[in-house]
Amino acid sequence: MTAGESDGLRAIQRSRRWVWIWILSYVPVMWVVKRTTHSDLAAAPFVLIWTVAIVRCIARVMFVRCPRCNGLFHSTHSSPAIWNLLTRKCLQCGLPLHLEKVIYPSLE
Ligand SMILES: [Zn+2]
């Protein structure tokens, strides 16, 4: 494992974390906006911002490259896929996302 690979894996973890942050933040933010403004129209800009942000984050995760093989990390082929965003390893070379969970790193 090189320093570039571990930095790349941390970047993948960070981009995946942002997807979860946006997903989990929707309900509390909308609750606060609706509670303070009592208007659906006032919530529209927040819904628009949230939608753009979640699409951008998911697209970023879909197009992320593996630091080892430079293939798409979440895709089994050369085109990006949205179906494997929860995978724990590169679907092209098998590089695990969380190296601390690998029992025998020399066998990787
Ligand atoms: Zn790979």
Number of domains in the chain: 1
End-to-end CA separation in angstroms for the chain: 9
- Distance (Å, whole) CA 63 – CA 5: 17
- Predicted confidence at residue 102, as pLDDT, reads 63
CA of 37 relative to ligand 1 center, distance in Å:
47
With CA atoms as reference, report the closest residue to 5 among 63, 69, 52: 69
Is the pTM of the predicted complex or chain greater than 0.85? no
pLDDT tens string for the chain (108 positions)? 788 888 999 999 999 999 999 999 999 999 999 999 988 888 899 999 999 999 999 999 999 999 999 999 999 988 998 888 889 999 999 999 987 766 665 655
Domain limits at 73?
Answer: 3-107
Residue 12 makes CB contacts below 8 A (sequence gap 6+) with 61, 64, 67, 73, 97
Protein residues with C-beta less than 5 angstroms from the ion ligand 1? 66, 68-69, 90, 92-93, 95
Instruction: For residue 99, give both structure tokens.
Output: 């190296």
